[in-house]
Amino acid sequence: MATTEESLHIPSHSRSKPLEYSTEDGALRIFGFWVFLVTDMLLFSCFFATYAVLYRHISTGPTPSAIFDVRGYTAETLILLTSSFTSGIATYEMRRQNKSGLITWTIITLLLGLSFIGLEVSEFWSDVVSGATMQTSAFLSAFFTLVGTHGCHVSFGIIWITSVLIQVIRRGITPVTSRKVFITSLYWHFLDVVWVFLFTVVYMIGGMY
Amino acid sequence: MPVDIKNFLTHFFVTGYPLIYGADASIILATVAILFVLTYFKKWKWLWTEWLTTVDHKKIGIMYLIAALLMMFRGGVDAILMRTQLMLPNMHFLGPQHYNEIFTTHGTLMILFVAMPFIFALFNIVVPLQIGARDVAFPYLNAISFWLFFFAALLLNLSFVIGGSPDAGWSSYPPLAGAEFDKGPGENYYLLSLQITGIGSMATGINFLVTILKMRAPGLTLMRLPLFTWSVVGACILIIVSFPALTAALALLLIDRVAGAHFFTMLAGGMPMMYVNLFWIWGHPEVYIVVLPAFGVFSEVVATFSKKRIFGYTSMVASIMVITVISYFVWVHHFFTMGAGPGVNSFFALATMAIAIPTGVKVFNWLFTMYRGRIRITAPMLWTLGFIPNFAIGGATGVLLAVAPADYQYHNSYFLIAHFHQVLIGGTIYGMLAGMYYWWPKMFGHRLSEGLAKHAFWWFNLGFYICFMPQYALGLMGMTRRIYTYPKGLGWGPYNFIATVGAYMMAIGFVLIVANVVYSAFYGERDTTGDIWDARTLEWSLPSPAPHYNFAVIPHVDRRDAWWVMKQERKEGKTTLDLQQEPIRPIHMPNNSGRPFILGVCFFTVGFGFAFSWYALVVLGFLAVAVLLLVRSFEYEDSHYIPVEEIKETEAAYGRL
């Protein structure tokens, strides 16, 4: 009987695939991360469902439209969508083996991410100062949890991408670092997609009440 | 000052119950005994290098198995205490509060800390070997999953002696489980320990789905996959799609409790039904998560011990996938009586009943496999045969409960208790025990004593019927669940007495199972062939126990029941896998790491801090977790190659070269 020897982690470079997919290990981890994103999407779905059920339950607190700052969340949206685009360019530069391009566009992505977090924190801060806290109403509990979970994900992403950036600077574009860059960019795009739903469900639909 | 300390200590340690003092004493004695044995026999280093830091899926599987049996003991003691309390009318063996705590932890433990680790034990031990892989997709993550489960179990068990146990039922519905009605740390313990073990379970689901989809031996197409592995696919999909709902439900309730939010509080617009829905969107698929692998075990066992290939393979696969899908559309049957309305109730009633169809297909296929087979009644086969009437009765009573109008009568009665114990014990536990007896030689290189196994089976199986059959009657007579005592004169006494006798018989059965483990370690028949049952799937082509790299040479598969086909070809004189003729190459393996264990300790710290609202501890734990993740990210030398000479030596020692 014929046997083959396709060991798990032995890198078998092939020119036809992108570098991050060139090892079995890399392909495996990228696929695993996609499956993880499914679970994360479902976690957000549950929080979205909670928000959809509770956003009219304002008790004695303010309505959604009373606290939403249109300029603030519009700016956040533009910044995050742009950062997803720059993250895409970073991946493109990585595929072209352009290390300095990858580093530059990653730093731009990080700066945009940081300014997004800055705006969100200031939005939350002004809400809390005006008395609209998580304890005020079921709507605000759901709002802060849903948007805050997204914000935590973005903050985590910033730390994660920074650590990957350091590795790229130290080691260059290798099968391992390119896989890490690719996975963090998947994560970043995913957060962007979640934000599109946040924008629609929380700020647009919620803002009509 | 001494008064302050005394107040703190009485708040921190549970006091006042003789049984709790007994638990304190037994915990201290067991800890001292373990420390003494490890030190006396100089086993600390061995423990650390061989077990605590291992990333070998077979060893992780064995640790899951040991933990599951230990937790089954703990959950079983809870059951015995409850049954003793209910044995006679007006009993005063347990107080009401203590009874609430015991039934809560009994349910929580049995589902999340017995059934789940037991299926994960078999996932780990069997799946890579069955699909011809050298490892799981993410071995380091696999170790993390185990240690998260382990420390979560420790956290929940600690609650009994430190701070107080959860007491709002295993489903922990608000507002009862909210901060207003349940102030103690018990509920926090529940929320945190489930959250931590849930993260581990989710990672295991991802890990094994990726392993099965991406790491099968060449030629092993999906429709040639052994049925146990197919059942793991179904269970993993369910874990991936349902556990996020549990994560959400627990997180929201924790935020309500510790941050004073209003998701489920009624005041300020909260909605308790939101929790009930989220909980059961996880909770119902969960019962299929634990029963599908049991179905997989039965498929392997029936085929092996009937010496036939499984009847209706394709329909078996189809029914696993149909169950996987439909189980996501049944969660509302847990609260038909809570005002969902006739339209919604009808939909969920019909979906619930529909699940009986694929399940019936599977039962018939097992029976047809046995038909005209050369059946050997071994221990795994005995548990499989015992399962079939159990599931027939449990399934039938399940359909009765699915009839929404009738459910208004049975809801939260002992009829329901009897039903779900019948399917969860009769399905999952019987299946896991069958799997344990079946794969024991593969894990340890010796088999368990058949004589003791049969005694254990009959004590457990008869005890099971004697315990739960009367409970159907009790339910129809109006006895509701969660009551801690009942008056004389209702006619419940004799049935409860009989049920308690049955519970004691099951306990004897469990003791015999454990006695068998100990006895067989010394006197059990050694397995020198690696294929002690004359079985059909690839794991039996390896020596017992399998070498740490599993396969020296990855086999090529061209048929279902690959190992059986190889054996037939060998009998006919055709050449099959011959190590002497195959080129052996160095094997790439992951390094051991102590970090998953330490990560477990850190999550434990976070959980313990939250339970008592000591936020400094929480922050400290989270920071440590972050540091560990960063260290991992910067780690590049995390694997090594096993040289060819070492592989050849190992294989020669097994007599295969």
Query: How far apart are the CA of B269 and the nearest CA of chain A, in angstroms?
Result: 5
B243 — contact with chain A (CB < 8 Å)?
yes
- Tokens standing for residue B429: 């536990």
Asked if B240's CB is within 8 angstroms of A6's CB, the reply is no
Percent of chain B with pLDDT over 70: 99
Written as one string, the DSSP assignment of B446-514 is BPPPHHHHHHHHHHHHHHHHHHHHHHHHHHHTTPBTT-----TTSS-HHHHHHHHHHHHHHHHHHHHHH
Nearest CA in chain A to B552: A5
d(CA B197, CA B147): 9
Contact of B247 with chain A, judged by CB distance below 8 Å, is answered with yes
Q: Which residues of A touch B553 (CB under 8 A)?
A: 3, 5
The confidence score (pLDDT) of residue B578 equals 67
**Per-residue model confidence (pLDDT) at position B161:** 86
Instruction: Give counts: helices (H), strands (E), chain A.
Output: 7, 0
CA-closest candidate to residue B122, choices B229, B242, B223: B229
Q: What is the dihedral of CA A59, A61, A66, A72, to 10 degrees?
A: -120
| Beta-sheet pairing, B639-642 with B587-590 | antiparallel
pLDDT higher for B3 or B146? B146
Asked if B427 and B291 count as a contact pair (C-beta separation under 8 A), the reply is: yes
Q: Tell me if the pTM is above 0.90.
A: yes
Test B138 with A9 for CB contact under 8 angstroms.
Answer: no
* pLDDT given at position A8: 40
How far apart are the C-alpha atoms of B411 and B417, rounded to whole Å? 10
SS (H, E, C) A75-89: HHHHHHHHHHHHHHH
Task: Estimate to the nearest angstrom the gap between the alpha carbon of B511 and the chain centroid.
Answer: 19
Whether residue B502 contacts residue B467, with contact meaning beta carbons closer than 8 Å, is answered with yes
Total number of residues shown for chain B: 657
Taking the C-alpha atoms of residue B326 and residue B288, their distance in angstroms, rounded to an integer, is 10
DSSP A64-132: HHHH--HHHHHHHHHHHHHHHHHHHHHHHHHHTT-HHHHHHHHHHHHHHHHHHHHHHHHHHHHHHHTT-
* B526 DSSP assignment: B
Neighbours of B5 (CB within 10 A): 9
pLDDT for the residue B16: 72
Confidence check: pLDDT of B575 > 90: no
Tell me how far apart the terminal alpha carbons of chain B are, to the nearest angstrom: 74
The closest CB to that of A4, out of B556, B575, B588, belongs to B556
Nearest CA in chain B to A33: B206
Q: Which of B32-36, B294-298, B409-413, B470-474 has the lowest mean pLDDT?
A: B32-36
- Which amino acid, B212? I
Interface contact flag, A45 B138, Cβ < 8 Å: no
Among candidates B243, B577, B583 on the partner chain, residue whose Cβ is nearest the Cβ of A39: B243
In the predicted structure, residue B168 carries a pLDDT above the cut 80: yes
Is the model's pLDDT at B345 over the cut of 50? yes
Measured between beta carbons, the chain A residues lying within 8 angstroms of B252 are 50, 145
Of A23-37, B32-46, B420-434, least confident by mean pLDDT is B32-46
Residue tagged 């991408």 (tokens): A161
Tell me the two tokens of residue B398: 């399940």
Which chain A residues are within 8 Å of B636, Cβ to Cβ?
A: 176
Give bridge partners of residue B588 from the DSSP assignment. B641
Closest by CA position to B126, among listed B440, B563, B526, B559: B440
B643 touches chain A (CB under 8 A): no
| Pick from B3-12, B271-280, B582-591: least confident | B3-12
CA distance B257 to B244: 20
For chain A, the distance separating the N- and C-terminal CA atoms, rounded to the nearest angstrom, is: 70
Query: Do B244 and A43 lie within an 8 Å CB cutoff?
Result: yes
Structure confidence by residue, pLDDT tens digits, B458-474: 999 999 999 999 999 99
- Taking the C-alpha atoms of residue B194 and residue B417, their distance in angstroms, rounded to an integer, is 22
How far, in whole angstroms, is CA B41 from its chain's centroid? 32
- CA–CA dist B317, B310 (Å, integer): 11
Residue count of chain A, please give it. 209
Q: Which positions ≥6 away from B154 have C-beta within 8 Å?
A: B604
3-class state of residue B13 by DSSP: strand
Size of interface A-B (CB pairs under 8 A): 149
**Cα B215 to Cα B211: distance, rounded to the nearest angstrom:** 5
Q: Which range, of A15-29, B413-427, B623-637, averages the lowest pLDDT?
A: A15-29
Which residues in chain A have their CB less than 8 angstroms from residue B260's CB? 134-135
Contact list in A for residue B555 (CB cut-off 8 A) is 1, 3
**B634 contacts chain A (CB < 8 A):** yes
Chain B segment 558-597 residues within 8 A of A by beta carbon are: 566, 569, 575-577, 582-583, 585, 587-588
Q: What average pLDDT does range B361-366 have in this prediction?
A: 96
Q: Within an 8 Å CB–CB cutoff, is residue B635 touching chain A?
A: no
Average pLDDT over residues B216-227: 95
> What is the pLDDT confidence band of residue B570, given thresholds at 50, 70 and 90?
confident
**What stretch of H or E contains B639?**
strand B639-642
List b or e across B262-281, with b for residues whose CB sees 16 or more CB atoms inside 10 angstroms: bbbbeebbbbbebbbbbbbb
Residue to substitute from B55, B136, B201, B210, interface A, most A β-carbons within 10 A:
B210
Average pLDDT estimate for B563-571: 90
Burial B94-110 (b: 16+ CB within 10 A, else e): beeebbbbbbbbbbbbb
Task: Please give chain A's pLDDT, 209 residues, in tens.
Answer: 333 344 444 444 445 788 888 888 899 999 999 999 999 999 999 999 999 999 999 988 999 999 999 999 999 999 999 999 999 999 999 999 999 999 999 999 999 999 999 999 999 999 999 999 999 999 999 999 999 999 999 999 999 999 999 999 999 999 999 999 999 999 999 999 999 999 999 999 988 88
* For range B19-48, the mean pLDDT: 87
pLDDT band at B333 (very low <50, low <70, confident <90, very high): very high
Q: What is the CA radius of gyration of chain A?
A: 20
> Cα(B69)–Cα(A121) distance, rounded to whole angstroms?
48
Q: Say yes or no for a CB contact (<8 Å) between A9 and B639.
A: yes
Q: Do B207 and A32 touch (CB under 8 A)?
A: yes
Nearest to A31 among B210, B270, B555 (CB): B210
A112 Cα to chain B: minimum distance (Å): 22
Nearest to B138 among A32, A139, A141 (CB): A32
The residues near B413 (Cβ < 8 Å, ≥ 6 apart) are B474, B475, B476, B478, B479, B480, B481
Contact predicate A116/A87, CB 8 Å: no
The C-alpha angle B50, B634, A169, rounded to 5 degrees, equals 160
Over the stretch A54-86, which tens digit does the pLDDT of each residue have? 999 998 899 999 999 999 999 999 999 999 999
Q: d(Cα B15, Cα B19) in Å, to the nearest integer?
A: 10
Tokens of B65: 């198995």
Interface of B with A in 118-177 (CB under 8 A): 133-135, 137-138
Q: Which residues of A touch B263 (CB under 8 A)?
A: 50, 54, 138, 141-142, 145
Mean predicted confidence (pLDDT) in B428-433? 97
List C-alpha distances in Å: A202 to A49, A127, A131, A195, B386: 11, 15, 20, 10, 53
